[in-house]
Amino acid sequence: MKIVVMCGVGVGTSAILKGNAERALERLDIDASVVATDVAGVRAEAADAQVILTSSELVAAIGKTNADVIVISNYFDVDELVAKLDVALGS
């Protein structure tokens, strides 16, 4: 399973979200590859992703995808990530 985390530039914010997404997946006992990207690289990364995590401001930049797009309000809130990933992945 592949999960893509996306921010505007793909450096700081996506690294924070990537780390917290990995923590959330550990809590859910789900094995997945988490990849950080920016707006420019999201379409390529999303081609084989099951889930894309991003902010509400960046959803439109994703374009057409078969992945579940999950809007994260607080990148630092692991509980939010656990709840939203649990619903999306049906664990």
- The CATH code of the domain that includes 69 is 3.40.50.2300
DSSP 57: G
Asked if residue 16 is part of any domain, the answer here is yes
Scan for tokens 């692991």, then name that residue: 78
How far is the C-alpha of 10 from the C-alpha of 55, rounded, in Å?
13
Please indicate, yes or no, if residue 46 is contained in any of the structural domains.
Answer: yes
Element (H, E) at 89: helix 78-89
- In a domain, residue 81? The reply is yes
* Residue-range definition of the domain harbouring residue 58: 2-85
Please state the pTM of the whole predicted model.
Answer: 0.91
Rounded to an integer, the average pLDDT of 74-87 is 96
Q: In the structure, what pLDDT confidence band is assigned to residue 22 with cuts at 50, 70 and 90? A: very high
Does residue 91 fall inside a structural domain?
no
Residues 91, 77: Cα–Cα separation, whole Å:
19
Given this model, what pLDDT does residue 11 score? Answer: 65
- Residue 45 falls inside a structural domain: yes
